[in-house]
Amino acid sequence: MFSGSVRTDMKVAIGAILAVFLWTGTASADVLDRGAFAAALCGDAASLGSAAEAVTRRAADLSRDDLAWAAQPLRGILERRLVCLGTSAVLLDRPGAGEGRSVVSGDPQPAAGARASVLGLRQRALVETADGVLALLAAPQVEARAAGLWAAERRIAAVPDGVFARAEAAETDAGLKAAIARVAEAAALSSPDPQRRLAAIDRVAGAPSSNALSRLSALKADAAYAADPAFRAALDAGIAQVERAVAVGNGLAILYNGLSFASILFMAAAGLAIIFGLMGVINLAQGEFIMIGAYATYGVQEALRLIAPAWLDLYLILAIPVAFLATALVGIAIEALVLRHLYRRPLMSLLATWAVSLFLINLVRVAFGTRNLQFTMPSYVSGGIALYADFVVTWNRLFAIGFAAGTLVLTLLVLRATPLGLNIRAVTQNRDMAGCLGIPTRQVDRLAFGFGSGLAGLAGVALAPIYSVNPQMGATFIIDSFMVVVLGGVGTVVGTLIAALGVGQINVLIEPFYGAVAAKVIVLVGIILFLQWRPEGLVAARRRR
């Protein structure tokens, strides 16, 4: 009984000595004593935990080879593949195997009669932390390094400062590098060293975001906030700085989102303004022309997927002329078959375009179904770039803004620099006089209706990477489009642009506070009140009598 107790005490002492040697005897040489480390892993639970804790503390200074080597037995402990023959550690290929390899030499070694390493709850936490730190620093796969970062973050107070600095400097994956920097800042903020915490507050405040604000605000619950005036002053200043930056970033985000929404509204309403101003037709099928443009874009995508997969990334660009021509032809056909008989009867033309709208919706339902279409996101509209605080410029919305600007330039060129545009302006100002001067007003009506329909089709192209595309999508924009046309001034493209910018920005500004429905109601009431004061809209169309 006595001799067994002595052997146990000696075993504990040997394990402790080996663990201490592991930490103190080789720290200056930055070389891991692999024999001592393996022997410590085969000691008792205290020895094993000390070895794991020591290798964690030295991880930032050890070579990559030593880190990769030490990671194997630690992972083996967690997977129950590490067994011990006395003080010799053997790593099995699988749990329960009869043979493995020596941890130190790598030579094959039988495992008969070997015992498994003993892990208590505290020792398991130490081994998991050490395993995570070594994986973060030495694992070749990004996924393994990310898992190591997560494990290290769980016991962040036990991870030395240099580990995250070394991992961040060596990391090649941009996303994981940013995550390491975030965890390193969190470690510094919880450091017991006051100077390190102050420096961390300055770094976090220098990269403002909502996440940074939350992390700094959480430090107000720290005892140092009440006890240390310097810490309190630095933290308050950092929080104020981040709050200002976040407010500016949120303002920029509202302006950007409003501009992208206004871009869609302008493209949806520009064609309607031309049709309404020229022919006085309230076209309730304009929203369905947007839908046709989006479905034409989907058709181009699927055709490229079958015929030229290498060109699939360019389907949005190639869909621009296809969507414009397809929607313009549909508009010309509707004008020729239905609307040309109803120009003198506005109520009948409104009902007729409503019937056309229902027909197109149900036709698309039968042909394509009712589910949302799945679009491949091209590289040039995927992702974005963070500019300031939480303000991120997303490429899909920037594409819509640029596309709307191009559509505006195209529309103004057609109206001001082509014979068709000259005829449209002449007929809009005085139809009877234009007819007397030899302008074919019927042909102008048909081409203008096709041109206005084509502009709505272009809006469908811009919508494809942003909104859900389904047979009902047009109904979302038709009311807003009419509000924009009436507010801007019937028949004026410039007025439509100004009104779209105003309605888009106000909608985006009000919606977070009162909801989407209330925002539309508030905008509608505002437009009605404005028209009571200025019935001709923002920009009055030029007409001659």
Residue 542: what pLDDT?
54
- ∠ CA 195-196-200, rounded to 5°: 120
Hunting for tokens 């310097």 — which residue is that? 230
CA atoms within 13 A on the CB side of 13: 6
Domain-embedded: residue 104: yes
Element spanning 21, H or E: none
CATH number at residue 513: 1.10.3470
Q: Is the pLDDT of residue 327 over 90?
A: yes
Domain-embedded: residue 206: no
Domain-embedded: residue 243: no
Residues 316 and 173 in one domain: no
Residues 412 and 517 in one domain: yes
Domain-embedded: residue 489: yes
503: left (phi over 0), alpha (psi -120 to 50) or beta: alpha
Residues 179 and 73 in one domain: yes
Domain stop point among 141, 159, 190:
190
Task: List, for residues 500-543, the tens digit of each pLDDT value.
Answer: 888 888 888 887 777 777 777 887 788 888 877 877 777 765 54
Task: List, for residues 390-418, the tens digit of each pLDDT value.
Answer: 888 888 888 889 988 988 888 888 888 88
Distance CA 330, CA 289 (A): 8
Per-residue pLDDT band for 279 (boundaries 50, 70, 90) equals: low
Least confident of 13-17, 183-187, 358-362, 497-501: 13-17
Residue 10: what pLDDT?
43
Long-range contacts of 224-233 (CB under 8 A, 24+ apart): 224/194, 224/197, 228/194, 230/194, 230/198, 231/194, 231/197, 231/198
Residues 489 and 350 in one domain: yes
Domain-embedded: residue 229: no
Residues 185 and 305 in one domain: no
Residues 184 and 252 in one domain: no
Distance CA 391, CA 375 (A): 26
Distance CA 269, CA 493 (A): 9
Distance CA 497, CA 267 (A): 9
Distance CA 436, CA 450 (A): 24
Contact at 8 Å (CB) between 399 and 467? no
Distance CA 187, CA 209 (A): 18
The share of the chain scoring above pLDDT 70, in percent, equals 91
Comparing C-alpha atoms, which of 35, 200, 8, 14 is closest to residue 102? Answer: 35
Residues 64 and 133 in one domain: yes
What is the Cα 97 distance to its own chain's centre?
Answer: 47
Over residues 4-21, the mean pLDDT reads 46
Cβ neighbours of residue 158 closer than 8 Å, sequence gap 6 or more: 53, 56, 126, 129
Residues 359 and 284 in one domain: yes
Q: Is the pLDDT of residue 13 over 60?
A: no
Domain-embedded: residue 207: no
Distance CA 311, CA 391 (A): 32
- ∠ CA 410-414-419, rounded to 5°: 165
Give the structural domain span for 166: 2-190
Contact at 8 Å (CB) between 242 and 234? no
Contact at 8 Å (CB) between 271 and 455? yes
The total domain count for the chain is 2
Residue 323: what pLDDT?
94
Query: What is the pTM (predicted TM-score) of this model?
Result: 0.67
**108 φ/ψ angles, rounded to the nearest 5 degrees:** -60, 145
Task: List, for residues 52-77, the tens digit of each pLDDT value.
Answer: 888 888 888 888 888 989 888 888 88
Domain-embedded: residue 373: yes
Residues 270 and 154 in one domain: no
Contact at 8 Å (CB) between 199 and 188? yes
Per-residue pLDDT band for 22 (boundaries 50, 70, 90) equals: very low
Q: What is the DSSP letter of 313?
A: G
Residues 155 and 283 in one domain: no
Q: Is the pLDDT of residue 386 over 90?
A: no
Can you tell me whether residue 99 is helix, strand or coil?
strand
Least confident of 102-106, 227-231, 362-366, 430-434: 430-434
Comparing C-alpha atoms, which of 132, 21, 18, 16 is closest to residue 67? Answer: 132
pLDDT: which is higher, 20 or 400: 400
Comparing C-alpha atoms, which of 46, 385, 360, 159 is closest to residue 352? Answer: 360
Residues 460 and 528 in one domain: yes
Over residues 182-201, the mean pLDDT reads 79
Residue 16: what pLDDT?
47
13, two tokens = 């002492």
Distance CA 338, CA 33 (A): 90
Domain stop point among 170, 190, 210:
190
- ∠ CA 273-277-282, rounded to 5°: 75
118, two tokens = 């003993």
**376 φ/ψ angles, rounded to the nearest 5 degrees:** -80, 130
Over residues 281-290, the mean pLDDT reads 84
CA distances from 99 to 43, 70, 89, 91, 96 (A): 21, 20, 12, 9, 9
Cβ neighbours of residue 523 closer than 8 Å, sequence gap 6 or more: 483, 503, 506, 507, 510
Over residues 294-308, the mean pLDDT reads 92
Residue 35: what pLDDT?
87
Contact at 8 Å (CB) between 100 and 111? yes
Per-residue pLDDT band for 325 (boundaries 50, 70, 90) equals: very high
Residues 175 and 277 in one domain: no
Domain-embedded: residue 37: yes
Domain stop point among 190, 208, 239:
190
The segment with the largest mean pLDDT, out of 5-19, 339-353, 452-466, is 452-466
Contact at 8 Å (CB) between 305 and 423? no
